[in-house]
A and B are shown apart, each in its own frame.
Chain A
Amino acid sequence: MAHASGVGARVRRKEDERLLRGRGRFVGDIALPGMKELAFVRSPVAHARIRGVDIPEEHRAAVFIWADLAMDGVKPIRAVSGLPGFKASEQPALADGKVRFVGEPVAVCIAATRAEAEDIAAQVFVDVEELPVNADMLEAVKPGAPRVHEHWSDNVFLETNVGGAIAEIAATAPVKVTRTIRTARQCMVPLEGKGVVAHWDRHVEQLVLTTATQMPHIVRAGLSECLGLDQGLIRVVAPDVGGGFGWKGLLQPEEVVAGWLARHLDHPVRWTEDRREHLVAAANCREHHYEITAYADERGRLLGLEADAWVDAGAYSVYPFSACLEAAQVGSILPGPYDFRHYRCRTFSVCTNKPPIVPYRGVARTGVCFAMEQMIDAVAEAVGREPWEVRLENLVPPDKMPFDNVTKKHFDSGDYPESVRRAVAAIELDGWRARQTRGEPDGRLIGVGVATYCEQSAHGTAVYYGWGIPMVPGHEQAQARITPDGGLELRVGVQSHGQSMETTFAQVAHEVLGIELARIKLVHGDTALTPYSTGTWGSRSMVMAGGAVATACRTLAERVLRIGAHLLQGRPEDARLVDGCVRVGQASIPIRDIAHTWYRAPQLLPPDVDRGGLETTCGYKPKSDHGTFSYATHAVAVAVDPELGSVEILDYVVVEDAGTMVNPMVVDGQIYGGVAQGIGTALYERMPYDDEGQPLASTFMDYLIPGFTEVPHVRILHMMTPSPYTEFGVKGIGEGGAIAPPAALCNAINDALRPLGARVTDSPMTPERIIAAIHDASTSAAASTAEATR
């Protein structure tokens, strides 16, 4: 039964009103009586031994270093992976004897205002003895490279090997193409930085940490480990959070420090990450390097794939995802949505003197898609076919679903080739090809690019226990409670920071119970008020917590029907829930009256009433928790200015399949936002470091994120193949938009550059790189002409 505001309805968001009036409540908005502000003294160099920290005498009481925390038993952050060979790092919340990246917190200063705290920080001098720096991952793995962690045997957190023998294919394949491909280190840049307010609640005797996080329960677990406090003594609250994208999906050193200080000093403290701290000291992501070879037959049918991949994981392993998630994920997902049988991939999570990398929207998939989709285009070029045809040749066809691919990924459902056909039709490829042949009056070069991916999302126990990291998602729980006045309260342990869950979870509950949206309240982001959850990451919230909400609401529906039938003097098996009322034949009673009966007129209840009442907590897992596989094909048309190397996006089409959409407006919003970030990855965003490990971008003047004029009016076409495994057939959709744009744009740019014989392989595809590619092509062309004439 479809409700006007249930699953599938494009309803307006419940969270909008407060946010549109500036009456949300973000961490930085919270001021507690007696609160002091924190400023961190951070390492000015990438690698050094700390000889000492000089603190002016008059500020001694306002400055704390690791020794102060250690004396109190505070432990370093440890995020160990159980994968064999993983080398563990210890990250003290303030540097302990050594600094390993520029921006690493060394001391914390406390004052009435942030400005005064910064005044103190400016007077604290960190005396360092500089050490040789690992600024580049490929150098860092060479023998003799300086060690980031001295007691390690090399700078590799983890090496993984996936797949097996491929030599035979390599020797016999008619087509072989090899590429070296690189993606830049980026920053995640939610518009709100990180922030935390910590205080000790004397009444409840709990440390209360209000923090901009995507995973309050995991932060609590991590804090408990570092501070040596029982989890029962800690409450973590996520208020309104201004975007996360992964940056707020970890335990941060600053949270440990703030938590310790609040307890130690017995007054509230607040730290708000400013933009420079965000860009320089943390929030890094996505630096991959691939050496990759594809083998194919003459039609472009893939016979095998071989790759070595390096990920620059930075100096420490982040809690809870660890330093190896990204690289190891490369190994398992590089084959993408394609069906081929021979595969070998070796990955390295490399430790360098840069900030730890954190999984950013799409995690390894964006890099993987960038690499794999370049290879598909390369194969197409080698066999002289249209790239989209070669995709059709290799994509898993719908009649093979569900399908286990070469790395044992279990694709649940969908028609991958159809997404390509629709995207190619929607972008009107023929028109662009004709325009390419004609040429542009302004001399620009037209190119069209396509990229397809599938995204494993909402993967659960089956996938994560193997990683052996501090967090393994199990049954996701939700609590549902009908209030005495017939409204509904939902409590979930995931956290909404733009994903619109206050609305979409209410839609799910409405679908089951028929209670009006306006009367459904979602409580989230608070360890004291919600069931345990690993939080919001991996495009999992709607699949997992949405499924749990549906399950809990069904349980309540059951109970409501029994009470209703009794009150209507009918049989429970004849009772139905319609529009928020229990009906038996012509008789009907609203849930409101049933709630009233349970809470305020219990004398009327049936004697065998379920004693759980109108409140329940239910756990949920999809039938298969290997993850849902949403997928999409992106097609883009660009104009490349060969004189300046600039790229204009002329049209951008997304054909995606997220299974059943709970709220199509919200799904579109996630895709638009993801594509914008993907365009940033493709064309603009780069966190450059010099040889000394110094970050070269520290403001939005030099770290460019796309704005209104850089993002086109993306066109989205939906396919809807329900997942056979989940409630309503939903699939995870949060990250997808950000995965394909770099690949699609790269292929489009190379399509445009083809007449010049030029090619780009690294992101971001900046004017410098495009001009360099054109220049290289023309010099090598000139050289070969010279060769020929000689």
Chain B
Amino acid sequence: MTHSKTITLTVNGKAVTAAVEPRTHLADFLRERQLLTGTHLGCEHGVCGACTILIDGEPARSCITLAVACDGHAVTTVEGLDGDPVAADLREAFSTEHGLQCGFCTPGMLVSARDVVLRRPTADDNQIRVEMSGNLCRCTGYVGIVNAIRRVLDARKTAAE
């Protein structure tokens, strides 16, 4: 008999307290308990990146992170990026460059892409590809996604000049 744990964390800026089974991974907690279904599950073993969210502002795999381990931390999902300026630029660019088809990989892509934009502002296309390599897409062949990230990086460079 295992015991559930009461955890308190911030989800998309709001404090949440909930009892969870320790075995519940963060993605299931977000999807099934918080009804934040924008976070998708494509493999549940850390490879595909569809479940990528932010923990304390850093990208992480929610399928191999236990919800209990997030007690006291801040979690941001794609739904929480509505008002984020970088995410807004990326959404615009993804649409312009056809960076999504079925849209299943897209939430994870946006979270990782946002991290690339912030952490690697000078990345060339090759570096974009390497940095994004932890997110799989079966539909787009990646060209539109690389172009979208390129577009945002270029725009930010121009804006900074």
Contact = CB atoms under 8 A, between A and B. Distances in A.
The reply to whether A and B meet directly (CB within 8 Å) is yes
A20 B133 contact: no
Nearest to B147: A713
B106 interface: yes
B43 A192 contact: no
A21 B38 contact: yes
B104 A26 contact: yes
Nearest to B110: A20
A35 to B, nearest CB: 11
A630 to B, nearest CB: 17
A708 B37 CA distance: 25
B141 to A, nearest CB: 3
B31 A672 contact: no
Contacts of A26: 37, 40, 104
B16 to A, nearest CB: 17
B96 interface: yes
Interface residues on B, range: 35 or more
A698 to B, nearest CB: 10
B29 to A, nearest CB: 12
B6 interface: no
B21 interface: yes
A649 interface: no
Interface string A669-705: 1011111110000000000000000000001110001
The DSSP consensus for interface residues of chain B is: loop
A622 B7 CA distance: 61
Contact of B133 (A25, A113, A709): A709
Given A13-B98, A669-B98, A700-B47, A28 B37 contact: yes
Contacts of A668: 98, 143
Interface stretch (A143-151, A237-245, A593-601): A237-245
Interface stretch (B65-73, B75-83, B151-159): B75-83
A708 B131 CA distance: 9
A666 B98 contact: yes
B101 interface: yes
B123 interface: no
A776 interface: no
B107 interface: yes
A431 interface: no
A19 B125 contact: no
Contacts of B138: 189-191, 243, 245, 673, 676-677, 705
B37 A674 contact: no
Contact of A709 (B21, B104, B129): B129
Interface string A42-76: 00000000000000000000000000000000000
Interface string A1-38: 00000000000110111111111111011010000000
Interface residues of A, number: 58
Contacts of B103: 15-16, 18-20, 24, 240, 242, 498
A272 B27 CA distance: 14
B142 A708 contact: yes
Contacts of A241: 102
A714 B143 contact: yes
A705 B138 CA distance: 8
A191 B31 contact: no
Interface in B78-101: 78-79, 82, 91, 94-96, 98, 100-101
Contact of B44 (A16, A24, A275, A713): A275
B37 A498 contact: no
Interface string A211-232: 0000000000000000000000
A242 B104 contact: yes
A665 interface: yes
Contacts of B146: 708, 713
B142 A676 contact: yes
A711 interface: yes
Nearest to A242: B104
B24 interface: yes
A673 B77 CA distance: 26
Contacts of B105: 191, 242
A705 B105 CA distance: 14
Nearest to B103: A19
A191 B32 contact: no
B98 A665 contact: yes
A499 interface: yes
A508 to B, nearest CB: 18
A113 B79 CA distance: 24
Contact of A242 (B38, B40, B77, B91): B40
A711 B141 contact: yes
A674 B35 CA distance: 33
A243 B100 contact: no
Nearest to B134: A707
A498 B130 contact: no
A500 interface: yes
Nearest to B141: A672
A24 B40 CA distance: 11
Given A26-B104, A699-B47, A31 B32 contact: yes
> Which 5 pairs of residues, A with B, have the shortest CB-CB distance?
A22-B38, A19-B103, A242-B104, A672-B141, A498-B102
Interface of B: 21, 23-24, 31-32, 35-45, 47-48, 50, 77-79, 82, 91, 94-96, 98, 100-107, 110, 125, 128-130, 132-146
Given A191-B139, A700-B45, A708-B135, 15 more contacts: A20-B95, A21-B82, A29-B31, A115-B23, A191-B136, A245-B138, A272-B41, A275-B44, A665-B98, A668-B98, A672-B142, A675-B141, A676-B138, A713-B125, A714-B143
29 contacts: A15-B103, A19-B102, A19-B106, A20-B100, A22-B38, A22-B77, A26-B40, A28-B41, A31-B32, A190-B102, A191-B50, A192-B104, A193-B42, A241-B102, A242-B102, A243-B139, A245-B138, A275-B48, A669-B98, A669-B139, A669-B144, A672-B141, A673-B138, A700-B43, A701-B45, A707-B142, A708-B130, A708-B145, A708-B146
